[in-house]
Structure 1
Amino acid sequence: MMETMKAHGTDLAVQGKLDFTFRGIDYSVKREGGNYNYERHLTIGEDAILDRLNNSGFYRYSNDAKINLPDSLSQRYSASLNSVIYFAQLPYSLDGDAINLKYIGQDSIKGKAYHEIEVTFNEEGGGEDHEDVFVYWINQQDHLIDYLAYSYCEEECGYRFRESVNRRNKNGVIIQDYNNYKSTKIDPELFNMDDLFEKDQLELLSKIELERASFKANK
């Protein structure tokens, strides 16, 4: 996984600023000296909303005025912001203390060789979604993530399989979009979703596209 993180440029992302637009909403990620600042800019009605998540916590502003939110809403908005950033910057943070890596073995998808790795999370430090399970298929040639699958339980439980597309290099940091698939089976085996993908037995649910993506290293 360390080779994969290096191939994706996470050693550069730790000191810099990533900007992108996702589904019409602008996001930014800034990191420096162990500190982080995530922002989301959106419009609700006639109000300009800024969501900010950093080392100190989550904050929402409306037209530059801070809003006092109940804990339930604060946690919901924080989780949704963090989720977008998490997937946008994968595999950043997969070397964290709450991360458990398990090498499953070698696999092949569409004639290419992959390392298959399972990622789980400790309850302590693993966040509110610590029960989620991920599987990554890492290209043996360039060490980049071509595919991933995960199980989740939020308001409902499910499984997803993602195929990386539109990969580009932004000043040393790899940005990629995804085709997001779901299984037509009620309870598929997470590790076998690549087989379902090759057999065209997955349904394209959505496209994960990071528009106007850019990265600038700190000076």
Structure 2
Amino acid sequence: MFRYLSAIIVLLIITSCSQKTPTAQEIVDKAIAASGGAQIANASIHFKFRNYYYRATRNGSLRTLERCTDAACQMQQDVIKENGEFVRFRESAPIPVADSMKNRYANSVNSVHYFSVLPYGLNDPAVRKKLVDEVAVKGEPYYRIKVAFAQEGGGEDFQDEYMYWIHKENYNVNYLAYNYQTSEGGTRFREAYNERIIEGIRFVDYRNYKPEEQFPALTTLDNLFENNKLNLLSKIELENITVSICPKNC
């Protein structure tokens, strides 16, 4: 009888250890892997978003991000170089841009590319991650990960806060929310839809919602969403996505 009870206790201890809650870093690592992070790290990705054409070229830690007014990138081209420098070209010739506008244009270009391959950017050095808790949304289990940014390397919007709902089984990011301080500030909640896998990379579109309150706690937004208390503002849709995987150099 004693041996039987001892075996049960050992089994319970082993089971308890195997069910240990992962860290925020472990969850994000799995989410990035599930979305095709290894492919994104060495790929050239092209897509259209609204009235612009975007190109991202990544070679490990190096990247070049572009936004163009035409598919051939000849009329006007905004480029964030590997060293972070912003340059604007018109008909392939560089044109001067006021210093006061460079950061604004660069942030605009970077933001679209950042959202296009989420959660890939969540391991950038300035990112600060925290596991908040575990919840269910529409009957599915999620980890809620809060993300903030260090001032150094976090860009002009380092004060913004994000939350990601990462599925506990497949590690897909199906919802995200954030608050921002620019232009009087506000809060947004995004629902992923139209998932497609291209060359091993997961791409999604988003329904973009706004709450009635300007700055509600991000942890309340999934409940507001489920109770139809968010207003649909827009859709974030990527068109004509093409991916070229670059084993060595793009």
Residue number in structure 1 paired with 2:78: 51
Residue number in structure 1 paired with 2:223: 195
Residue number in structure 1 paired with 2:16: none
Q: TM-score, normalising length from structure 2?
A: 0.84
Q: Name structure 1 gaps, 5 residues minimum.
A: none
Q: CA deviation at 1:184?
A: 1.4
Find the residue that maps to 1:142 and give its secondary structure: coil
Residues in 1 aligned to 2:215 and 2:187: alpha-carbon distance in whole angstroms: 8
Residue number in structure 1 paired with 2:46: 19
Residue number in structure 1 paired with 2:196: 168
Residues in 2 aligned to 1:73 and 1:41: alpha-carbon distance in whole angstroms: 17
Q: Which of the two has greater helix per residue?
A: 2
Aligned residues of 1:98 and 1:122 also touching (Cα < 8 A): yes
Residues in 2 aligned to 1:80 and 1:186: alpha-carbon distance in whole angstroms: 22
- The share of aligned pairs that are identical, in percent, is 38
Aligned residues of 2:178 and 2:187 also touching (Cα < 8 A): yes
Residues in 2 aligned to 1:4 and 1:187: alpha-carbon distance in whole angstroms: 27
- Please point out which of 77, 82, 87 is paired with 2:110: 82
Residue number in structure 1 paired with 2:174: 146
Q: Within 5 Å, which residues of 2 pair with 1:114-125?
A: 114-125=142-153
Q: CA deviation at 1:48?
A: 1.2
Point out 4+ residue stretches in structure 1 off by more than 4 angstroms.
none
Residue number in structure 2 paired with 1:63: 91
Q: Which has the larger radius of gyration?
A: 2
Q: Return closer, same or farther for 1:98/1:186 CA change in 2, 3 Å cut-off.
A: closer
- Please point out which of 148, 152, 158 is paired with 2:186: 158
- Please point out which of 206, 211, 214 is paired with 2:234: 206
Q: Which amino acid aligns with 2:56?
A: V
Find the residue that maps to 1:193 and give its secondary structure: helix
Residue number in structure 2 paired with 1:32: 59
Q: Which amino acid aligns with 1:48?
A: M
Aligned residues of 1:108 and 1:114 also touching (Cα < 8 A): yes
Q: CA deviation at 1:125?
A: 1.1
Q: Name structure 2 gaps, 5 residues minimum.
A: 1-27
Aligned residues of 1:60 and 1:67 also touching (Cα < 8 A): yes
Aligned residues of 1:35 and 1:54 also touching (Cα < 8 A): no
Q: TM-score, normalising length from structure 1?
A: 0.95
Q: CA deviation at 1:33?
A: 4.1
Cα deviation digits, residues 21-61 of structure 1 (max 9, x gap)? 00021101001142211111116xxx811111122311001
Residues in 2 aligned to 1:22 and 1:40: alpha-carbon distance in whole angstroms: 10
Residues in 1 aligned to 2:109 and 2:48: alpha-carbon distance in whole angstroms: 13
Aligned residues of 1:107 and 1:114 also touching (Cα < 8 A): yes
Q: More displaced, 201-210 or 97-106?
A: 97-106
Residues in 1 aligned to 2:237 and 2:96: alpha-carbon distance in whole angstroms: 32
Q: Which of the two has greater strand per residue?
A: 1
Q: Which amino acid aligns with 1:98?
A: A
The alignment covers a number of residue pairs equal to 216
